[in-house]
Amino acid sequence: MAVWTGTQMIVWGGIQDQTGGVYCSASCTPSTWYGDSDHDGYGSAAVSVEVCHQPPAGYVSSAGDCDDAHASVHPGAPQLCDGINDDCSDPSWPAVPVNEADADADGFRICGGDCDDTRAAVKPGGSQLCDGLNDNCSDPSWPAVPANEADADDDGFRICANDCNDGNADIHPGVTETCNGIDDDCSGAFDDDGSGVDSDGDGVHNACDDCRFVANPTQIDSDADRVGDACDNCQSGVNPAQTDTDHDGQGDLCDLDDGLLYFTELFKNGRVDWQAETVYAQFNLYRGSLGVLRATGEYTQDPSSVPEATRFCFVGSATQMDPHLPPVGTSNFYLVTGLNGGGESSLGNASNGAPRPNAHPCP
């Protein structure tokens, strides 16, 4: 079948196939038309037909489209910050413009306002992460670091990480608290310890309380012996040990009658004598085996298991008869304590300075 339009004849049918053909009149020269799949007005040179007058649907007269799958890509197209090179006229096409990179894969390109394309956390609207950076490219002060992200004392803790004193490297979270009236570990409390025990309820934890069992929130210590005035029984001198040998409530440093007992005669004519202290009404005298002491470290020994041991309790004077003689080749020793209303005095100190323990005291 054929139709004459006046300038061309269109023929359908044929021997080999059913395709149509266009036959132009002598006065009509066929034009080349290019396929434009993305409808951006530029066709692809790889897809073309020659037709007289009007092109078929989907064809245009201009070629030069370097990417006929994207309408935004054509000769002279503006760069759209879409991660591709939109301008086919660019000699570097298809290389992507440098400012369209998203090297840190944070979803923001340089041309889209990413002020640091090497860090995914830094982007427009980025949350401040307390990392020493300004993570928000939208911040008008960028790249200035927010004030609370400073670490001026270089202790590894920023203000936003709870450093309560950024001018002192010794003060930061996790540091060991010292007894100095300062919140060293930024816990919100000064002179506290890990356990948080405050036996007297005065707000100062036991680890740093100079009177653990007497409330003294001011921690006044007139003689600077680390024992607060509230419980210091001798405030006229430095006596941090606060020993009170005679249990009279006055520290040994201030006590002119401190109750220290000295033997004056040791086992003379079957008698043991010691210095009398008027503060004591009675005394306890302990005898023990030197061999057992060396073997066990016990100063007061159990008479039921150590034959050489005995106790003379509630002695009313500074002397005691004891006719006992140790077996040949052995030695005995004596220790004496005083008794008053405050209880029994100490056994004194061992050679290493530690108080001698009383494992088997008088009843």
191-242 and 244-363, same CATH topology = no
Query: What pLDDT shows up at residue 12?
Result: 42
Give the CA dihedral 134, 136, 142, 146, nearest 10 degrees. Answer: -40
Q: What is the DSSP letter of 226?
A: S
Q: What are phi and psi of 313, to 5 degrees?
A: -105, 145
For residue 3, what pLDDT is reported? 46
Residues ≥6 apart with Cβ < 8 Å to 188: none
The conformation of residue 166, written as its DSSP 8-state character, comes to: T
Ordered per-residue pLDDT tens for the chain, 363 residues: 444 444 444 444 333 333 344 545 556 778 889 999 999 999 988 888 888 777 788 898 889 999 999 999 999 999 999 999 999 999 999 999 999 999 999 999 999 999 999 999 999 999 999 999 999 999 999 999 999 999 999 999 999 999 999 999 999 999 988 878 788 999 887 777 666 788 888 888 887 888 888 899 888 988 887 888 888 877 766 766 666 666 666 666 666 455 567 676 676 778 999 888 778 889 999 999 999 999 999 999 999 999 999 999 999 999 999 999 999 999 999 999 999 887 898 888 887 878 899 999 998
Rounded Cα distance, 360 and 363, in Å: 9
pLDDT at 15: 31
Assess contact for 22 and 10: CB atoms under 8 A.
yes
pLDDT at position 11 is 43
- The predicted pLDDT at position 99 comes to 95
Is the pTM here over 0.75, yes or no? no
Instruction: List Cβ<8 Å contacts ≥24 apart for 44-49.
Output: 44/68
Q: Where are the domains of the chain?
A: 2-60, 191-242, 244-363
Candidate CATH numbers 1.25.40, 2.60.40, 1.10.490, 1.10.10; the one for domain 244-363: 2.60.40
Q: What is the pLDDT of residue 254?
A: 65
- Is 259:249 a contact under the CB 8 Å cutoff? no
Residue 285 belongs to what H/E stretch? strand 282-289
Tell me which architecture the domain covering 191-242 has in CATH. Answer: Irregular (4.10)
